[in-house]
Amino acid sequence: MPEPLFEVRDLVTRFRSEGGEIRPSRGVSFHIAAGEVLGLVGESGSGKSVTARASIRLQQPESATIGGELFFRGQDLRKLDAEALRGLRAKQIAMVVQDPAAALNPVMTIGDQLTRIHRLHGGSEAEAREAALLLLRRMRIAEPESRLAAYPHQLSGGMRQRVLIALALICRPSLLIADEPTTALDVTVEAEILALLDELRRELGMAMLMISHNLSVIGRICDRVAVMYAGRIMEEAPTQALLATPRHPYTMALLASVPRGTKRDGPLPAIPGEPPDLARLPPGCPFQARCPGAAPQCTAEQPLRDIAPGRKAACWRAEAA
Amino acid sequence: MARFLLGRAATLALVLFGASVLIFLVVRALPGDPAIAMMTSNATPAEIQAMREALGLHLPLWQQYLTWVGGAVTGDLGRSFMYSNGVAAMIAERFPVTLHVSLVALAIAMAIAIPAGVLSARYKGGALDHMFRVVAMIGISMPVFWQGLLSILLFAVILGWLPPGGYQPLSAGLGLSTAHIILPAVALGTAYAATITRMLRSSMLDVLGREHIAVARAHGVPERTIIWTDAFRNALIPTLTAAGFSFGYLLAGAVLTEVIFNLPGMGRLLYESILSRDYPLVQGLVLLNVTLFVLINFGMDALYAVLDPRIRR
Ligand SMILES: Nc1ncnc2c1ncn2[C@@H]1O[C@H](COP(=O)(O)OP(=O)(O)O)[C@@H](O)[C@H]1O
Ligand code: SF4
Ligand SMILES: [Mg+2]
């Protein structure tokens, strides 16, 4: 296997609060090859956003990241100083987030927000403007010239999300972290944005970490999928294999809860039971309380292990199957 | 634009009407009779009654009110009972002093609050943040007059660098004028700086937690720019409210500060006029303060519109 573009090993994050200590990432490992799309799926609160942000050193405060190695092109991001890290941003690694209304600066024009990112990484104002216009056209935004002078509140939600994607792509990064980029949008706009994102990704040869709580979104554009639960990766497999033959009981439950036929967004129709309280996890498998196959063995640690070529799962039953 | 201004003028008129009724009644609800206050203690009831009539206090309340308001709309605020000068003229004499001190105090407050608020948010929980907090605590718990007295003691009495009090207008020369105004302005400015700093710090922390800050960081915007461009400009909007109120309070005058620094400002005038039940003077001063507050509010609205495109039409 060639060296992956991005590899996260044993990432641990921790927050302390009155309710106790929680660890939204409890030893998370994954890797993404150049040009590959890895999906990260799991119920809300399972630690996807914290893990993704911490993996590119954006989680604040940084002291929340207490362990792990983050290799980007063979270099550990955690060992880089602020300047070196900043040099990678936008040009190599970029991010799109869930809420486009909050993700753009309300007092800056779209044009200023786009061009300044381009200029930070070199080039003149005119070049930056040209790149911004080109990208907005490419994002199928009508009247791009006048959009440059607009403020975020003057655009629709779908339009803002396109701008946000443009912001991430303006320096042609090789890795895009997309944290639920379509969750705030309605279904038709979601489909358009997903298609556009996929198209641009192919064009740029960009790798992507696509986060969603929605398996149907993941199924549409990801090569491989990692399923996350209570701060752990529970199963990892090529998308087709995962959807066709899920091996981990949590993945099965997640799949069973996807409404057939519709592609409606929204919180997953309930998997029976509640997601666990991260401050009070049982020993062993965190899915115990909701797992139909729970047995005494489950109180033992369930490390993520190879169960078939290219497939991993964190459950003794998956291994035995 | 014309519509906008007209709307504002109507608001001002409405507020002033409400305020005028309220002031008029509250002043008269105060215990004490201005006629008695103006006379020696051995005045006879007949003399007191004659004084009441001379001041127009024997008339029914509604008639007194109409006379006052009728004059006020033409700019005539009546005559002071105590000084028998025109109230408007007395205000015109005192107001420039208070305006001058207030502007300098506000400038000092902002000059302290902006760096202190921004830096304590940026280094939240750090040494700088704690230092600013302690200094602000001392500043708040040390009354302005006490700080004023100490500063007179140090700079005027011990060091002899500055005059201990009094007022010199700008026309007397910038240096001389500033030498007189700097101590009271610092005493007042630092007191308001503490409030504005806290406001700015908390709105900076709020803005720094927003998603657009994370997105800017994700794309390599340097931390300095994040703080001063992305966060500060957004955080300034709520902070201006605190600054505007501070300015309003400053313009009302500060009695103790004016007494200590022997400044002929609005605070002392209001204080004395209340003590002597000088109805026309109290009414005129309070009406002016209300007007200024409303005007400051309008000014703030205009500023918000400049700073926040979401408010612009
Ligand atoms: N800054 C933070 N401080 C404390 N707890 C946090 C913070 N950010 C997230 N969390 C907690 O971490 C857990 C995982 O959150 P998150 O990664 O956002 O989940 P997901 O993206 O999978 O919905 C949640 O319980 C959330 O409340
Ligand atoms: S380890 Fe046990 S509880 Fe966990 S998923 Fe497997 S069977 Fe269910
Ligand atoms: Mg999330």
pLDDT digits (tens, 9 = 90+) for B242-297: 899 999 999 988 888 899 999 999 999 999 998 888 999 999 999 999 999 999 99
Q: Is residue A262 over pLDDT 70?
A: no
Q: Is residue B4 over pLDDT 80?
A: no
In chain B, which residues have their Cβ closer than 8 Å to the Cβ of A60? 209, 214
Q: Which residue has the tokens 């990801």?
A: A222
Nearest ligand 1 atom to the CA of A59 is 1
Q: Tens digit of pLDDT for each residue in B157-181?
A: 999 999 988 999 999 999 999 999 9
How far is the CA of B34 from the CAs of A270, B50, B78, B191, B267, in angstroms? 77, 12, 15, 35, 20
Residue nearest to atom 25 of ligand 1 (CA): A45
In chain A, which residues have their Cβ closer than 8 Å to the Cβ of B218? 56, 58, 89-90, 93-95, 168, 177
Q: Is residue A55 over pLDDT 70?
A: yes
Taking residues B5-10, report their average pLDDT: 84
Across the interface, which of B221, B308, B309 has its CB nearest the CB of A120? B221
Extract the tokens encoding B175: 């240096």
Alpha-carbon gap, residue A245 to A242, rounded angstroms: 5
Extract the tokens encoding A279: 């401050």
Among the bound ligands, name the one nearest to the CA of residue A235: 2
Q: Tens digit of pLDDT for each residue in B76-102?
A: 888 888 887 899 999 999 999 999 999
Task: Bin A237: left if φ > 0, else alpha if -120 < ψ < 50, else beta.
Answer: beta
Cβ contact, residue pair A106, B212, below 8 Å: yes
The residue of chain B nearest to residue A90, with distances taken between CA atoms, is B219
Taking residues B298-304, report their average pLDDT: 89
Check if A23 has its Cβ closer than 6 Å to any atom of ligand 1: no
Q: SS3 string of chain B?
A: CHHHHHHHHHHHHHHHHHHHHHHHHHHHHCCCCHHHHHCCCCCCHHHHHHHHHHHCCCCCHHHHHHHHHHHHHCCCCCECCCCCCEHHHHHHHHHHHHHHHHHHHHHHHHHHHHHHHHHHHHCCCCHHHHHHHHHHHHHHHCCHHHHHHHHHHHHHHHCCCCCCCCCCCHHHCHHHHHHHHHHHHHHHHHHHHHHHHHHHHHHHHHHHCCHHHHHHHHCCCCHHHHHHHHHHHHHHHHHHHHHHHHHHHHHCCCHHHHHHCCCCCHHHHHHHHHHCCCHHHHHHHHHHHHHHHHHHHHHHHHHHHHHCCCCCC
Alpha-carbon gap, residue A215 to A62, rounded angstroms: 30
Q: Which of B69-73, B200-204, B291-295 has the lowest average pLDDT? A: B69-73
Q: Which pLDDT does position A1 carry in this prediction?
A: 57
In percent, how much of chain A has pLDDT > 90?
Answer: 85
Å from CA of A36 to ligand 3 middle: 21
Q: What is the largest CA-CA distance in chain B?
A: 85
Among the bound ligands, name the one nearest to the CA of residue A299: 2
Taking residues A50-59, report their average pLDDT: 97
Q: Which pLDDT does position A265 carry in this prediction?
A: 52
The residue of chain A nearest to residue B237, with distances taken between CA atoms, is A107
The residue of chain A nearest to residue B231, with distances taken between CA atoms, is A105
B196 HSE (CA, 13 A, CB side): 29
Alpha-carbon gap, residue B292 to B257, rounded angstroms: 20
Extract the tokens encoding A58: 């954006």
Instruction: List residues near ligand 2 (CB under 6 A).
Output: A 249-250, 285, 287-288, 291, 293-294, 298, 302, 315-317
In chain B, which residues have their Cβ closer than 8 Å to the Cβ of A116? 221
Query: How sure is the predictor about A35, in pLDDT bands with cuts at 50, 70 and 90?
Result: very high
Extract the tokens encoding A150: 């607009």
Q: Tens digit of pLDDT for each residue in A165-207?
A: 999 999 999 999 999 999 988 999 999 999 999 999 999 999 9
Bond from prior residue into A61 cis (ω within 30 degrees of 0): yes
Q: Is residue B11 over pLDDT 90?
A: no
Q: Which of A144-148, A233-237, B68-72 has the lowest average pLDDT? A: B68-72
Query: How sure is the predictor about B42, in pLDDT bands with cuts at 50, 70 and 90?
Result: confident
Q: Which pLDDT does position B39 carry in this prediction?
A: 79
Query: How sure is the predictor about A267, in pLDDT bands with cuts at 50, 70 and 90?
Result: low
Alpha-carbon gap, residue B30 to A307, rounded angstroms: 88
Radius of gyration of chain B (CA): 24
In this prediction the pTM is 0.88
- Distance separating the N- and C-terminal Cα atoms of chain A: 27
Q: Tens digit of pLDDT for each residue in B126-156?
A: 999 999 989 888 877 888 888 889 999 999 9
| Cross-sheet strand order for the sheet of A305-308 | A93-96, A175-179, A207-212, A37-41, A224-229, A232-238, A311-313, A305-308
**Contact assessment for residue B263 and residue B184, using Cβ atoms and an 8 Å cutoff:** yes
Extract the tokens encoding B53: 């009539």
Q: Tens digit of pLDDT for each residue in A284-307?
A: 999 999 999 999 999 999 999 999
In chain B, which residues have their Cβ closer than 8 Å to the Cβ of A90? 218-220
**Contact assessment for residue A227 and residue A234, using Cβ atoms and an 8 Å cutoff:** yes
Taking residues A44-67, report their average pLDDT: 95
**Contact assessment for residue A102 and residue B212, using Cβ atoms and an 8 Å cutoff:** yes
